[in-house]
Amino acid sequence: MRLVDLSAPIEPSPAELPEALRTDIEYVAHDEGAAQAEAMLGVPRDLLRDGEGWAVETFTRFGTHNSTHVDAPWHYNSTISGRPAQTIDELPLEWFYGPGVVIDATDRADGDALSAADVEERLPRPLEPLDIVLVRTGRDEFYGELDYIARGPGVTAEATQWLYDRGVRVSTPLASCNCRRSRPILQTGAYIRLASVCDCAGGVPGRADRARGLQRSRRRR
């Protein structure tokens, strides 16, 4: 079974990126780690392999929409259909590990919205319950640009409902998410969990196969 990593790298943001979207990381190199080991544990440097200690990364800023993540119902509303919205830890794990079905939308312009008919026409095979639908936009080449999140086509609320009715519970564009095109459906019980900020890098086959779509998630988001 072939596994394809769709996650984007976690790395420090450029200085010009807005605060709400920034990732800031402080790094401790092996040399400094050796000094910390001696101060904390009393282990001198000459007892450490090659005189090196641990390397450490500390996140000083890491927002909800930074890197690859899954939007839980709680992210959008406190209640859905009159019931408390689910947090990410309340969603079934099997939703996030299953066959991936790729819909090629690389021919669509930024801002275009795929209708239910568009989605159905582009499917490589009939959908099965819990398929993970991957909309390939081709905009991964713009990852890291300031306007990345606004690029790429999206799907309509109608198309989202159509996917939900066929058992799909997780979907993602393979690049910028343009989630606002699906937002009307987010206020109902029939809503697809969006995995955002993914990077396809041409690595996903343009056909359905048994490759699994595993998405990293965040508690309560």
The fold of 69-196 is Glucose Oxidase; domain 1 (3.50.30)
* pLDDT per residue rounded down to tens, the chain (221 residues): 777 777 778 889 888 888 877 899 999 999 999 999 999 999 999 999 999 999 999 999 987 777 778 888 888 889 888 899 889 899 898 888 888 898 999 999 998 989 999 999 999 999 999 998 888 888 888 877 778 778 888 888 888 889 989 999 888 764 334 443 443 344 434 445 555 555 443 455 444 344 344 433 333 44
**Residue 17: predicted pLDDT:** 82
What is the pTM assigned to this prediction?
0.75
Residue 153 one-letter amino acid: P
**Residue 196: predicted pLDDT:** 56
Domain residue ranges in the chain: 23-62, 69-196
**Residue 192: predicted pLDDT:** 57
